[in-house]
């Protein structure tokens, strides 16, 4: 059979033999009607137990690859060559995936929105999770309310009141599997024929995709250092909702001014539409107090989205949305048909984590850490690019935008920066349509990087930019 067993492979022997025989059928080494060795012969040839080979044969017979006849042995089933069975090599794919991960370890990635996971309170979280799961009544292991565990909704409501000044009832809250699911539920709920969604420009491409995946049409309105430009709004009856990040505009970092907030609220009231407020990282503000939410100005027109991905860890897929009363039933129904409910065990653990004050403590600790990274980045930028840049959106969040005076981030330049081992993110990539207005700006996240990585990354960036500029002049 010429089958080679990879003794050190993570794949079980049964799977390896199965894949090898399937591959031989795919490439024509084994043809329809050809007889295979007996299980005893093949097991001896491969140095494995007869039961292992027997299990492989039985599995392939059940799936239709092989046929067994009394007294005639096991043969390759008919008609497989005509169906052009695809060739696959699971083992090679696994090795290639590992190589790709190894390559990424050497990249200094200034991606935004990644928390410093090494500070995640792993032991404390595990202890609370185990304790909660051990003490829950048996009924808690069944299906829970699609809106989420009541205790968690209560704890989030208390947390929002003391940290953001948001007063809301737990009854208005639905727990989601992250903010992405929350936005998806809202987009599906509010999607109406011939109505559109207004998004900031620039904005997160992935979240725009979430909206369009629900069948919504989108239209962009420019954002600047004061957030969404409400001066560009005109009366219309074809708007379903606005998607905005008022506390820290993504990616530019601007704060929606109170004048624009009131103007946006008034527009939503007069034109019978909603505002979706994505409050994705407002906990981390380094200059002054956290910015007030848009939600508190009009809870009947604003839908609030929150998440624990940036605060704790993306692996904890927990978020929440706060909705006007008239939208609750419809959204809850969509949630049921989406995933029935979000993981209830994690919800109970999170409720206890917040109740014990661990979330507040963690945020306080991380704010100090991120502030240190932010200040280090500002110093290094000044060192590497004296009088050559200005900063946007550095007062809060986990990233900042750098606008260079004499650098244009063309595709060629960005490609060369990547080739040298650094990832940066041109703001032009966040526009609905590129217009060249932000071609001198890049987004740089700093929260997940060590101080030495920040220093090294900016040094490489400086060398590439200066080398590239010199080459261009020639």
Q: How many domains does the chain have?
A: 3
Work out the mean pLDDT of the chain and round it to a whole number: 91
pLDDT at res. 83? 67
pLDDT at res. 97? 53
Kindly state the helix (H) or strand (E) to which residue 67 belongs, with its residue range.
strand 66-69
**Pair (73, 165) in one structural domain:** no
| Cis-peptide into 294, omega within 30 deg | no
pLDDT digits (tens, 9 = 90+) for 193-250: 889 999 999 999 999 999 999 999 999 999 998 899 999 999 999 999 999 999 999 9
Token representation of residue 277: 């407020």
**Pair (249, 149) in one structural domain:** yes
Listed residues 325, 341, 358: the one ending a domain = 358
452 lies in which domain range? 108-116+361-473
pLDDT at res. 89? 57
**Pair (317, 241) in one structural domain:** yes
Q: Is the pLDDT of residue 72 over 60?
A: yes
**Pair (318, 373) in one structural domain:** no
Listed residues 304, 324, 358: the one ending a domain = 358
Q: Which of the residue ranges 100-109, 144-153, 154-163, 319-328 would you say has the lowest mean pLDDT? A: 100-109
Mean of pLDDT values over 129-158 = 96
pTM attached to this predicted model: 0.85
**Pair (248, 123) in one structural domain:** yes
Supply the CATH number for residue 199's domain.
3.40.640.10
**Pair (268, 343) in one structural domain:** yes
Asked whether residue 203 is domain-assigned, the answer is yes
**Pair (199, 328) in one structural domain:** yes
Query: For residue 470, what pLDDT band results from cuts at 50, 70 and 90?
Result: low
Asked whether residue 4 is domain-assigned, the answer is no
**Pair (182, 197) in one structural domain:** yes
**Pair (185, 250) in one structural domain:** yes
Query: CA 314, CA 112: separation in Å to the nearest integer?
Result: 13
Q: Is the pLDDT of residue 101 over 60?
A: no
Supply the CATH number for residue 69's domain.
1.10.10.10
pLDDT at res. 66? 94
Strand residues in 214-350 grouped as ranges (E)? 217-224, 227-228, 239-244, 274-278, 302-307, 319-322
Alpha helices in 249-357 (DSSP H): 258-270, 325-339, 344-355
> Distance of CA 189 to CAs 114, 148, 184, 213, 241, Å?
29, 18, 8, 13, 11
Asked whether residue 6 is domain-assigned, the answer is no
**Pair (288, 204) in one structural domain:** yes
Listed residues 315, 338, 358: the one ending a domain = 358
Asked whether residue 8 is domain-assigned, the answer is no
**Pair (112, 252) in one structural domain:** no
Percentage of the chain surpassing pLDDT 90? 80
């Amino acid at each position: 059979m010429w089958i080679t067993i990879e003794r050190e492979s993570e794949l079980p022997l049964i799977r390896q033999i199965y894949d090898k025989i399937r591959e031989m059928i795919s490439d024509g080494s084994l043809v329809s009607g050809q007889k295979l060795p007996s299980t005893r012969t093949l097991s001896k040839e491969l140095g494995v137990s007869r039961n292992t080979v027997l299990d492989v044969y039985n599995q392939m017979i059940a799936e239709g690859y092989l046929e067994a006849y009394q007294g005639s042995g096991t043969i390759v089933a008919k008609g497989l060559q005509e169906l052009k069975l695809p060739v696959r090599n699971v083992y090679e794919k696994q090795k290639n995936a590992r190589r790709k991960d190894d390559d990424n370890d050497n990249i200094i990635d200034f991606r935004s929105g990644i928390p410093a996971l090494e500070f995640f309170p792993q032991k404390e979280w595990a202890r609370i999770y185990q304790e909660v799961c051990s003490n829950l009544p048996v009924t808690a292991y069944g299906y829970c309310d699609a809106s989420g565990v009541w205790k968690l909704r209560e704890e989030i409501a208390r947390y929002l009141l003391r940290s953001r000044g948001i007063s809301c009832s737990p009854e208005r809250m639905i727990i989601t599997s992250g903010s992405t699911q929350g936005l998806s539920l809202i987009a599906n709920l509010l999607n109406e024929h011939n109505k559109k969604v207004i998004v900031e420009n620039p904005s997160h491409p992935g979240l725009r995709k979430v909206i369009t995946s629900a069948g919504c049409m989108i239209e962009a309105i420019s954002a600047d250092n004061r957030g969404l430009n409400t001066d560009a709004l005109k009366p219309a009856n074809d708007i379903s909702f606005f998607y905005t990040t008022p506390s820290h505009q993504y990616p530019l970092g601007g704060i929606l001014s109170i004048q624009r907030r009131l103007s946006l609220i008034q527009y939503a009231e007069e034109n019978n539409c909603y505002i979706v407020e994505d409050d994705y990282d407002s906990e981390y503000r380094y200059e002054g107090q956290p910015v007030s939410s848009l939600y508190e100005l009009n809870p009947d027109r604003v839908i609030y989205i929150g998440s624990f991905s940036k605060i704790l860890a993306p692996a904890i897929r927990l978020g929440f949305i706060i909705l006007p009363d008239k939208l609750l039933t419809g959204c809850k129904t969509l949630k049921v048909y989406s995933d029935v409910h979000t993981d209830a065990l994690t919800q109970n653990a999170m409720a206890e984590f917040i109740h014990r004050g661990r979330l507040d403590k963690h945020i306080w600790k991380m704010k100090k850490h991120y502030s240190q990274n932010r200040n280090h980045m500002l110093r290094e930028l000044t060192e590497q690019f004296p009088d050559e840049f200005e900063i946007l959106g550095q007062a809060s969040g986990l990233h900042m935008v750098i606008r260079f005076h004499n650098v244009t981030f063309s595709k060629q330049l960005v490609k060369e920066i990547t080739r040298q081992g650094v990832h940066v993110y041109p703001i032009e990539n966040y526009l609905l349509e590129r217009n060249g207005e932000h071609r001198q700006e890049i987004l740089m996240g700093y929260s997940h990087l060590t101080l030495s990585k920040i220093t090294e990354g900016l040094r490489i960036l400086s060398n590439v930019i200066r080398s590239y500029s010199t080459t261009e002049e020639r």
